[in-house]
Amino acid sequence: MGRLFGTDGVRGVANADLTAEMALGLSVAAAHVLAEAGTFEGHRPTAVVGRDPRASGEFLEAAVVAGLASAGVDVLRVGVLPTPAVAFLTGELGADLGVMLSASHNAMPDNGIKFFARGGHKLADELEDRIESVYEEHRTGAPWDRPTGAGVGRVREYEEGFDRYVAHLLRALPNRLDGLKVVLDEAHGAAARVSPEAFQRAGAEVVTIGAEPDGLNINDGCGSTHLDKIKAAVVEHGAHLGIAHDGDADRCLAVDHTGEEVDGDQILAVLALAMREASTLRSETVVATVMSNLGFKLAMEREGIRLVQTAVGDRYVLEEMKEHGFALGGEQSGHVIILDHATTGDGTLTGLLLAARVAKSGRPLRELASVMERLPQVLINVRDVDKSRVTTSAELSAAVADAERELGATGRVLLRSSGTEPLVRVMVEAADIEQARSVAGRLADVVKSALG
């Protein structure tokens, strides 16, 4: 059996790969593992459980809640809220763990389970491995030690979570958004209520699209993975900018007033300069992954800001930030972590801070984002291949070496397995877009033949 936990929890097609039985079993296993680790020592444990609006989240939430309560954990159900809200509430309420049911930007049939440790931080790899091991052991027959009577967990709705999270977002703002007109694309996802509420309370005039989740339409032609609608809406409404979330709102991308995309690298660049100006960019350092555009690296060098790069995945960005006390990090995809205010990527917070910079500076987002020039970058997702062999295929290694020789110092190549989907990503940067496309296409063909 392959590892259940990817870079962002356990994901799969709901009711096929990710079943109610698995959700229940993993929840019980998590409770036992955290109890063994001493997390629950000396008190009655509590968990915060939230979800995005997917239809499958309803039965998976029921399974998770049942599993936790059966293991003696009291449960606070916060309902449909963004992933970062569940992380925040886990820390704010002093809970022993948090559980979020979401598959983020994936299509509606998928779902996922993400666990947060006390304080709202992602679980360490070794704890995830232990949960998986304990789950497997009991799935194949070993009985659980179950509490009875008053020892079972109690379950209650925690409706105050919405207002506490919105208030937290507003406390993080350095200035109000009065005078700004903002289009928000909520991806029919977890931020459909929270994000418009926060922007409106901050003083912005808000136009919403993709804010009517019905359980089936999450990420469907909208949100941060489909920007055409928000680009058109920003121009149509004469807005200053647009903010597009993914399904669980742990990320955002932006659109300037002309309808042009502003990606995660550009957002990081804008926020890095704003935070340095406010003396909150600790060590004048920003953390990003190896997927960041070369133009971002060059811009940070020019501005005198140090860039630390990590493996792909927001968890690795976060680990680097926590270890060295850095304040800002993120990914090109729009996962941005502002560690003074969040323990994970928070798309609503990122959007608010970006809008606050526009409001305070009086400069259009387009001008602010021009601090960096995006070098042409081509990304091809190659599906239905054995992604586990990316680093061991001699044929693929030779093809990458050839490509790197061709590009020289003006570009780069990156191949990586997706942590959340069954595919290999081929990324090529070059000064010329046609060369990037040509090299990426050839490499994608080799990935298919070598790993197919």
Structural domains of the chain sorted by starting position, each given as residue range(s) with its CATH number in brackets: 5-159 (3.40.120.10), 163-369 (3.40.120.10), 377-451 (3.30.310.50)
Kindly state the tokens that stand for 221. 């032609």
Q: What is the mean pLDDT of residues 187-210?
A: 98
104 in catalytic set: yes
Write the pLDDT tens digit of every residue in 88-127.
999 999 999 999 999 999 999 999 999 999 999 989 889 9
In order of 56, 153, 260, 423, 426, the CA distances from 399 in angstroms are: 42, 56, 34, 18, 12
Half-sphere CA count of 219, side-chain side, radius 13 A = 21
Encoded tokens for 391: 């680093």
Interval 343-353 mean pLDDT = 97
The single residue of 27, 56, 104, 333 carrying the catalytic annotation is 104
Residue 192 has pLDDT above 70, yes or no: yes
* The two structure tokens encoding residue 192: 């459909």
Mean pLDDT of 416-445: 89
| Residue of 381 and 416 predicted with greater confidence | 381
H helices of 156-227, in order, are 161-171, 194-201
Q: Residue 450 region, left (φ>0) first, then alpha (ψ -120 to 50), else beta?
A: alpha
Q: What mean pLDDT is reported for the chain?
A: 94
Report whether 105 contacts 225 (CB < 8 A): yes
Annotated binding residue 104: yes
| 377: β partners | 429
Look at residue 384 in the predicted model and tell me its pLDDT: 85
- Give just the sign of the alpha carbon dihedral 184, 190, 194, 198: negative
| Better-predicted residue by pLDDT, 364 or 295 | 364
Whether 185 has a binding-site annotation, put simply, is: no
For 23-49, the pLDDT digits (tens) are 999 999 999 999 999 999 899 999 999
- H or E element, residue 56: helix 55-70
Q: What is the pTM of this model?
A: 0.89
Q: How confident is the model at residue 409 (pLDDT cuts 50, 70, 90)?
A: confident
In angstroms, rounded to a whole number, what is the distance separating the alpha carbons of residues 128 and 362?
A: 46
Annotation-wise, does 250 bind a ligand? yes
Sign of the dihedral defined by the CA atoms of residues 112, 39, 131, 326, in that order: positive
**Which pLDDT value is given to residue 452?**
80
Q: Which residue has the tokens 């989907």?
A: 421
Q: What is the band of 2 on the pLDDT scale with cuts at 50, 70, 90?
A: low
* pLDDT reported for residue 6: 82
**Residue 178 annotated as binding site:** no
Q: Does 375 score more than 90 pLDDT?
A: no
Q: What pLDDT shows up at residue 64? A: 98
Whether 383 contacts 445, CB under 8 Å: no
**What pLDDT digit, counting tens, does each position of 199-251 carry?**
999 999 999 999 999 999 999 999 999 999 999 999 999 999 999 999 999 99
- What average pLDDT does the segment 309-327 reach? 92
pLDDT bracket for residue 1 (50, 70, 90): very low
Q: Are 227 and 240 in contact (CB under 8 A)?
A: no
